[in-house]
Amino acid sequence: MAEENELGQTAENLKSAGHEVAAEYGQKTEQVWDDARRRTGMLKEDIEEYVRDNPGTAMCMAVGIGLVLGLIIFRR
């Protein structure tokens, strides 16, 4: 009987510790997600600004990337 109580207490301790770890990693995950979303927004703004300031260069880069991807895809 004492062993059952001890095992039950150990299981409860592990369960509690697991919840704490899950909560901690949940918070860290949310922070990383928010940081990634903020950085993506900043990158989008930078790209838009670059394209507005250099439309010709941006168009040439897009055509070049399209050609390379086309060659990769259609060579298979």
* pLDDT at position 4 over 80: no
Angle among Cα 59, 62, 68 to the nearest 5 degrees reads 140
Mean pLDDT value across residues 3-25: 83
Phi, psi of 54 (to 5 degrees): -135, 65
Mean pLDDT of the chain: 90
How far CA 49 is from CA of 10, 23, 37, 45, 56, in Å, comes to 58, 39, 18, 6, 13
Give the pTM: 0.57
Tell me, what's the pLDDT at 60? 97
Average pLDDT over residues 48-76: 94
